[in-house]
Chain A
Amino acid sequence: MGPQAEYFDHLARGQFRIQRCDDCASAVFYPRTHCPECGGGLSWVEPAGTGVVYSATIIRQAPERGGDYGVALIDLAEGVRMMARIIDCAPEDVRIGMPVSYAGIGSNADTILYRPGDAT
């Protein structure tokens, strides 16, 4: 199984994992075969679960097509950035720089959810 399949396999089992370089200790996201910083090997680690909103947008869509929804980029405490969905917060209330914490995995087991606040 390649790292992409492993990542989604983790999600299917309810586990959010990122990678860490065995050589230079860089956190790596999205999952790869080798560290993009140094070429070293990578191991799976459980992230601390905290992050900060780097940026966000609201996609405007008619109610009959599902209505507005938000997309955000989160800077994880480990130093990597990822796209994510923010829950428990109206898209209009998402602020850049806002602390967020891990809130689980989306229902299709292919998205990561965060909610406002420091508490995990």
Chain B
Amino acid sequence: MTENLRGKVAIAGVGQAGLGKAEGFTELEILAQAAHAAVADAGLQMRDIDGLATASVLAPMWAMPVIEYLGIKPAFIDSTMLGGSSFVAHLMPAIHALTSGECNAVLVCYGSTQRTSSVSRKVIAGVRRDFDPQPYEYPYEPLNPLSTYAMAAARHMHEYGTTRENLADVVVAARAWARLNPEAQRRDPLTREEVLAAKMVSDPLSALDCCMVNDGAAAFVLVRADHARDLPNPAIHVLGNATRVFARQGSSLPSLTETAAVASGQEAFRMAGVSPSEIDVAEVYDAFSINTILFLEDLGFCPKGEGGRFVADGGIAPGGRLPVNTNGGGLSCIHPGMYGAFIMIEAVRQLRGTCGDRQVAGAELALVHGNGGTLSSQSTAILGTASAV
């Protein structure tokens, strides 16, 4: 019955901070900068925030320092940690809390300084080995998360004839969009040949098939739709959202070529009452080039196995058949450990029509798809302008 919640909640404000390198700043500091920017963008004060959703790569009790730092006293608190999809998955619990009257304004926020942090990723990997054990994978030393995505790519090539050229075309399309986005971290021209010539890291994925490691913080504010109408920015409504997890480890997933995004996507589209062909712009979590192909298939933009051909030769680049990852994606715009909040913001900006050179003309319906872990968590959201409600 989630269709009763369709369009009942809207995103009223968005904010970002510390994109790229936040030298000398802590995670909480750039998170707070993004949070204040989002609250101001919503036309609200921090004291209006009475709901919080957040998650951290490192800190298991993260909601508490965030509450303390921001000086808020939220009635609704969600710190569900599903990896990078978390900030898309935070939508539905927040929708329930807002529509039930448990709270009136939910701040969803994230910040990471993993690029400039003094804690190396090697130390983090060591801690994770002890605190988040995977005794049936770690002894083989997969370079995770990358190696699981690499094995998904290899299997997709085997089953469907997808090629490294197809993967490279995903990377080139992301770069072409990034070149239109002043905030994007990688903006140099890039060709298919350069991607194919890049250093292999975990076959068949090269260094350029992988997302960046940046600092960055992102936040957005959710309110009930009737409240959003009185706020300064155009309300961007949440029309559908669903989250699915089938397993944590790649070796335990039922398939590496068909993910739980099939289920999360079907439910999000059903709730929203729209179909993939109606989507104007899609922001899908591209931690690695294969992700974009997998999710375009799983979400119904093309049949299973056709993703390589769908993205080939500029299919998802500016001027292609579908605008995908219009900020430049995790591959070329920004990727601070968990990227889910950033795709939400890009979708909101496209629907507000404020994207400048990369604006998709007349965009009214956007799909956001978050992924977490090693293809482990999948969360799909359909967002729309007031006219789409």
Question: Once bound together, how far apart are the Cα atoms of A57 and B142, in whole Å?
Answer: 9
Does B233 belong to the interface (CB within 8 Å)?
no
What residues of A have a CB within 8 angstroms of the CB of B251 in the complex? 73, 81-83
Question: Once bound together, how far apart are the Cα atoms of A51 and B155, in whole Å?
Answer: 16
Question: Once bound together, how far apart are the Cα atoms of A59 and B155, in whole Å?
Answer: 16
What residues of B have a CB within 8 angstroms of the CB of A85 in the complex? 140
Q: What's the minimum C-beta distance from B187 to chain A, rounded to whole angstroms?
A: 27
Does B278 belong to the interface (CB within 8 Å)?
no
Q: A57-B147, A57-B203, A58-B202 are in contact. Are A97 and B158 (CB under 8 A)?
A: yes
Q: What's the minimum C-beta distance from B376 to chain A, rounded to whole angstroms?
A: 15
Does A54 belong to the interface (CB within 8 Å)?
yes
The reply to whether B158 and A71 contact each other, CB–CB distance below 8 Å, is: no
What residues of B have a CB within 8 angstroms of the CB of A84 in the complex? 140
What residues of A have a CB within 8 angstroms of the CB of B142 in the complex? 57, 59, 71, 83
Question: Once bound together, how far apart are the Cα atoms of A79 and B268, in whole Å?
Answer: 32
What residues of B have a CB within 8 angstroms of the CB of A108 in the complex? 139
Does A15 belong to the interface (CB within 8 Å)?
no
Q: What's the minimum C-beta distance from A6 to chain B, rounded to whole angstroms?
A: 12
The reply to whether A58 and B151 contact each other, CB–CB distance below 8 Å, is: no
Q: Which chain B residue has the least Cβ–Cβ distance from A84?
A: B140
The reply to whether B154 and A60 contact each other, CB–CB distance below 8 Å, is: no
Partner of B147, one of A8, A71, A82, A97: A71
The reply to whether A73 and B200 contact each other, CB–CB distance below 8 Å, is: no
The reply to whether A55 and B136 contact each other, CB–CB distance below 8 Å, is: no
The reply to whether B256 and A55 contact each other, CB–CB distance below 8 Å, is: yes
Question: Once bound together, how far apart are the Cα atoms of A64 and B142, in whole Å?
Answer: 18
Q: What's the minimum C-beta distance from B195 to chain A, rounded to whole angstroms?
A: 16
Question: Once bound together, how far apart are the Cα atoms of A29 and B250, in whole Å?
Answer: 13
What residues of A have a CB within 8 angstroms of the CB of B201 in the complex? 59-60
Q: A69-B141, A82-B251 are in contact. Are A30 and B151 (CB under 8 A)?
A: no
Does A120 belong to the interface (CB within 8 Å)?
no
Q: A71-B142, A97-B158 are in contact. Are A110 and B135 (CB under 8 A)?
A: yes
Does B137 belong to the interface (CB within 8 Å)?
yes
Q: What's the minimum C-beta distance from A76 to chain B, rounded to whole angstroms?
A: 12
B355-383 CB contact bits vs A (8 Å, 1 = yes)? 00000000000000000000000000000
Q: A55-B151, A60-B202 are in contact. Are A110 and B141 (CB under 8 A)?
A: no
What residues of A have a CB within 8 angstroms of the CB of B203 in the complex? 57-58, 60
The reply to whether B202 and A54 contact each other, CB–CB distance below 8 Å, is: no
The reply to whether B141 and A57 contact each other, CB–CB distance below 8 Å, is: no
Question: Once bound together, how far apart are the Cα atoms of A4 and B134, in whole Å?
Answer: 11
Does A90 belong to the interface (CB within 8 Å)?
no
Question: Once bound together, how far apart are the Cα atoms of A74 and B200, in whole Å?
Answer: 23
Central interface residue in B150, B151, B152, B250, by most chain A CB within 10 Å: B151
What residues of B have a CB within 8 angstroms of the CB of A4 in the complex? 135
Question: Once bound together, how far apart are the Cα atoms of A60 and B150, in whole Å?
Answer: 12
Central interface residue in A54, A81, A82, A83, by most chain B CB within 10 Å: A83
Does A56 belong to the interface (CB within 8 Å)?
yes
Question: Once bound together, how far apart are the Cα atoms of A81 and B256, in whole Å?
Answer: 12
Question: Once bound together, how far apart are the Cα atoms of A55 and B137, in whole Å?
Answer: 14
Central interface residue in A4, A54, A97, A106, by most chain B CB within 10 Å: A54
B157-200 CB contact bits vs A (8 Å, 1 = yes)? 01000000000000000000000000000000000000000011
Q: What's the minimum C-beta distance from A105 to chain B, rounded to whole angstroms?
A: 11
The reply to whether A55 and B155 contact each other, CB–CB distance below 8 Å, is: yes
Q: What's the minimum C-beta distance from A86 to chain B, rounded to whole angstroms?
A: 10
What residues of A have a CB within 8 angstroms of the CB of B354 in the complex? none
Question: Once bound together, how far apart are the Cα atoms of A58 and B141, in whole Å?
Answer: 11
Does B275 belong to the interface (CB within 8 Å)?
no
Partner of B158, one of A60, A81, A96, A110: A96
What residues of A have a CB within 8 angstroms of the CB of B202 in the complex? 57-60
Question: Once bound together, how far apart are the Cα atoms of A84 and B136, in whole Å?
Answer: 9
Partner of A60, one of B152, B200, B252: B200
Q: What's the minimum C-beta distance from A32 to chain B, rounded to whole angstroms?
A: 11
Does B143 belong to the interface (CB within 8 Å)?
yes
The reply to whether A96 and B143 contact each other, CB–CB distance below 8 Å, is: no
- Cross-chain pairs A/B with CB under 8 angstroms, 13 sampled: A8-B135, A55-B154, A57-B204, A58-B200, A71-B141, A82-B251, A83-B136, A83-B251, A84-B140, A85-B140, A96-B154, A96-B155, A96-B158
5 pairs of A and B residues whose beta carbons are closest in the complex = A55-B151, A110-B139, A57-B150, A55-B155, A96-B158
- Residues of A whose CB lies within 8 Å of any CB of B are 4, 8, 29-30, 54-60, 69, 71, 73, 81-85, 96-97, 106, 108, 110-111
- Residues of B whose CB lies within 8 Å of any CB of A are 135-137, 139-143, 147, 150-152, 154-155, 158, 199-204, 250-252, 256
Beyond A59-B147, A60-B203, A97-B158, list 10 extra A-B contacts (CB 8 Å): A30-B135, A55-B158, A55-B256, A57-B202, A57-B204, A58-B203, A59-B142, A69-B141, A73-B151, A73-B256
